[in-house]
C-alpha cells in the first residue's frame, strides 16, 4: 500500500500483492521505491480503501508525477504511442498515460 494521504476518510491505495517482479509481469509494484511500473496496454488493478464511508458524490483524482528535478513537468505519452491509433481507441485523450477502464471514469486534460 502507498502511504496514506491526509484525509478525513483515511484513504489508502493498495496494489495486488500477487504480481511478479519479473520482466514478464504486466505490472510490478516496488514497496521499497513506492512506485508502480506498468507495461504499455496492460491493466494495473488498484484497490482504494477508506476507514469511513465517503459521500456518494466523491471523486478520486489521480495523476502521474516525475520525481525530483522534473516534478513540475507533466507526464505525457511518447510520440510513437501518441500517434498509434490502436493505442488510442479507448476514448481517453491520446496524450494521457494514465487511463481507466471504469465506465464512470472521466479523463481531463
Each residue of 55-100: pLDDT tens digit? Answer: 888 888 887 777 777 777 777 777 887 787 777 677 777 777 777 7
Between the alpha carbon of residue 50 and those of residues 9, 93, 97, 106, the distances in Å are 6, 29, 26, 21
Burial (CB < 10 A; 0-12, 13-18, 19+), residue 29, is buried
pLDDT at 10 over 70: yes
Give DSSP secondary structure letters for 34-103: TEEEE-TT----EEEE-SS---TT----------GGGTTSPP---HHHHS-TGGGTTSS-TT-SS----T
Per-residue pLDDT, 16:
67
Which pLDDT score is estimated for 20? 56
Mention every residue, 6+ apart, whose C-beta is less than 8 A from residue 45.
Answer: 15, 16
Comparing 109 with 78, the larger pLDDT belongs to: 78
pLDDT of residue 34: 75
Q: How confident is the model at residue 1 (pLDDT cuts 50, 70, 90)?
A: very low
CB 28 within 8 A of CB 35: no
Amino acid at each position: 500500500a502507498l502511504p496514506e494521504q491526509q484525509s478525513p476518510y483515511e484513504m489508502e491505495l493498495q496494489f495486488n500483492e500477487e504480481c511478479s517482479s519479473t520482466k514478464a509481469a504486466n505490472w510490478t509494484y516496488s514497496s521499497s521505491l513506492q512506485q508502480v511500473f506498468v507495461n504499455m496496454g496492460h491493466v494495473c488493478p488498484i484497490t482504494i480503501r477508506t476507514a469511513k464511508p465517503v459521500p456518494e458524490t466523491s471523486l478520486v483524482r489521480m495523476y502521474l508525477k516525475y520525481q525530483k528535478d522534473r516534478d513540475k513537468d507533466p507526464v505525457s505519452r511518447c510520440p510513437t504511442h501518441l500517434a498509434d491509433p490502436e493505442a488510442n481507441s479507448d476514448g481517453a485523450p491520446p496524450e494521457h498515460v494514465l487511463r481507466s477502464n471504469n465506465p464512470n471514469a472521466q479523463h481531463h486534460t
